[in-house]
Structure 1
Amino acid sequence: MTRLIKNISVLLLLLCVSLAVRAQRGGQAAFRQRNEARVMRPNVAKRFDQIKKNYIARQLNLTPEQSARFWPMYDAYQAELDEILILRRQNNTNVQPGGEDQFDRELTYQQRITAAQKKYYHEFCNVLPPDKAAQVFKSERDFKFELLRRLKEGHGPE
């Protein structure tokens, strides 16, 4: 657990430092850094995803056979969620007058997320016992809450 906390702390520290550096630079240097950050983000996202996967793996205590069958399914689940979340973010960045259509689309995205979770819960049950399949979603929530808690407390690397 402490290694996970250290990894999360390092990741958060790197993000904070990059934001502080970006805020202090101006003009062309800021433009160059924004373009460099676009190239570097996939590496940060991959590292973050690996930390999250390690957390979930510890929570689920998978056997090697379960692990070999579970992670490809989980990756497919994450890809489907990412697709929905991108559309959701795009919907929320363009605030529209009236907002009724935007609200309806938001509800549709929430329904799509719930449908994906139901679909993959049943697929996870083909590989894991039902209690472990349900634990996948709880572990994701717990990971997010732990991350938010650490951000609020302002923890750096330990």
Structure 2
Amino acid sequence: MDKLLKHTYIILLTLGIGLTAFAQGGRPPALRNNNAQTKVRKPTVAKRFEVIKKAYIAQRLALTQEQSAKFWPTYDEYQYELDVVADLRKANNAQPENGTDQFERELGYQQRITNLQKHYYEEFIKMIPPEKANLVFKSERDFKFELLRRLKEGRQQPF
């Protein structure tokens, strides 16, 4: 029994020394130098939400590895094209109001989004079953509703 206690003590002492040695590492190499080239940049809030949204969609779709390899690059193209329309829409809304013209442009942006969704639905069903392709758009809407619901509840971290 005395020998077992001695071995246990040695193992715990070794683990304790090992853990404290790792804890003394200091700042990561990328942060040790104040040079702008080596600083680690934090992702923007939009980028973090994009990552969370993609994880949410991935969970809902439950794609195989083969399906994922084909789907995600196409989904990224879709998101890029949506971002272009969103930027145009933002610029339109930033201009001084000219009722009819601004309204007509807004309808045009909504139509472009609808056309993008139709186009990419057709692209998605080439890679994944139609039920899952439809679930892509439903998951995006559900994600937005869930995000808004959590923000309304006053949570600091929506996800």
Q: TM-score, structure 1 length as denominator?
A: 0.71
Q: Which runs of 4+ in 1 moved over 6 A?
A: none
2 CA distance for matches of 1:154 and 1:74? 31
Aligned length: 118
Match of 1:89 in 2: 90
Alignment root-mean-square deviation, CA:
1.7
Tell me which of the two structures has the higher relative contact order, counting C-alpha pairs closer than 8 angstroms and 6 or more residues apart: 1
Q: Shift of the alpha carbon at 1:95?
A: 3.1
Match of 2:153 in 1: 153
Larger Rg: 2
Match of 2:8 in 1: none
2 CA distance for matches of 1:140 and 1:131? 14
* Greater helix proportion: 1
Q: TM-score, structure 2 length as denominator?
A: 0.70
Q: Shift of the alpha carbon at 1:96?
A: 2.1
Q: Shift of the alpha carbon at 1:138?
A: 0.2
Per-residue CA deviation, residues 34-68 of structure 1 (Å, 9 max, x unaligned), is: xxxxxx78533222111100000001011111111
Per-residue CA deviation, residues 13-42 of structure 1 (Å, 9 max, x unaligned), is: xxxxxxxxxxxxxxxxxxxxxxxxxxx785
Q: Percent identity?
A: 64
Q: Which runs of 5+ in 2 are unaligned?
A: 1-40
Q: Which runs of 5+ in 1 are unaligned?
A: 1-39
Match of 1:128 in 2: 128
Per-residue CA deviation, residues 74-101 of structure 1 (Å, 9 max, x unaligned), is: 000000000001000110111324x101
1 CA distance for matches of 2:140 and 2:95? 28
